[in-house]
């Protein structure tokens, strides 16, 4: 089972190119800080602006750096089923532990189209699949009836849920397979999601605060709710500011202040306002990160 704090790792850039040296240092630091896994080439990794070659090279590189110390979840989704199949085949061949397959964006398929999409992708390899349900970005939302149908597919083993619907894990636990993984995709919903039966979070905040987010989940797992609440309150301002402007721009700026990588993002994303920069600097100073 997947559980705990799983950074949706950023993709560092330098002068327009992927900065693999910074990526390696960042991932090694996060592993040392106690993360439970890593997601590479997700939305936070700016996957929409990565070339296919960059995407595949990053997946291979992350697997090499992780060295089987933690599971690697490879972003393999696309709004093209054919393209998602190509990414999935590559992730499986490269040794990823899971594929993260987003609901197709822009096309707006109906529920039968969504079921067909995920079944076709799952069929091509034995790679375990997590469905990334994010209605806010993709416009489409998988229904409970669709999940019941996809529950029949043996290697569809979990959900990254960014719906902000905290009833979802509770309802799904009534009909999904017992070992199904319920992973939040929203840092602000972690407490509620875990309380309804969730297992962890694929997190933006964990990029900047891997030790604290790891402690947060550890305290939940050992049922130390008093310490959990303390850490959750401590992280709240950071989690909020990291979504004040389009992600991952705030996370990258925070990491640049911490000396981990450049704050560079790819267009159409742009740099932060001076006010947001000021707030981020204050928050990470308060956390003793700089």
* Active site members: 132, 160
Asked if 3 contacts 199 with a C-beta cutoff of 8 angstroms, the reply is yes
Residue with tokens 């407490």: 191
Q: Is the peptide bond before 268 cis (omega within 30 degrees of 0)?
A: yes
The dihedral sign for the CA sequence 84, 134, 60, 217: negative
Cβ neighbours, 10 Å, residue 254: 28
């Amino acid at each position: 089972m997947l559980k705990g704090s799983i950074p949706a790792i950023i993709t560092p850039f330098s002068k327009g190119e992927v900065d693999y040296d910074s990526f390696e240092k960042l991932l090694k630091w996060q592993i040392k800080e106690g993360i439970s896994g890593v997601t590479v080439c997700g939305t936070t990794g700016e996957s929409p602006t990565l070339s296919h070659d960059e995407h595949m090279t990053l997946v291979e590189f992350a697997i090499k750096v992780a060295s089987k110390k933690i599971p690697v979840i490879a972003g393999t989704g696309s709004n093209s089923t054919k393209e998602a199949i190509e990414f999935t085949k590559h992730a499986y061949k490269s040794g990823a532990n899971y594929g993260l397959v987003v609901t197709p964006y822009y096309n707006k398929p109906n529920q039968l189209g969504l079921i067909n999409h995920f079944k076709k992708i799952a069929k091509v390899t034995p790679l375990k699949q997590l469905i990334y349900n994010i209605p806010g970005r993709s416009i489409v939302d998988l229904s409970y009836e669709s999940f019941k149908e996809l529950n029949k597919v043996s290697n569809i083993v979990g959900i990254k849920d960014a719906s902000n619907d905290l009833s979802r894990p509770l309802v799904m636990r009534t009909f999904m397979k017992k070992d199904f993984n319920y992973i939040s995709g929203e840092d602000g919903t972690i407490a509620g999601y875990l309380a309804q039966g969730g297992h962890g979070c694929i997190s933006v905040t964990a990029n900047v605060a891997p030790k604290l987010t790891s402690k947060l989940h550890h305290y939940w797992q050992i049922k130390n709710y008093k310490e959990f609440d303390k850490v959750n309150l401590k992280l709240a301002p950071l989690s909020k500011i990291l979504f004040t402007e389009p992600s991952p721009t705030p996370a990258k700026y925070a990491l640049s202040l911490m000396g981990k990588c450049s704050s560079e993002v790819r267009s159409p994303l742009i740099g932060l306002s001076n006010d947001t920069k000021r707030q981020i600097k204050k928050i990470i100073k308060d956390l003793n990160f700089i």
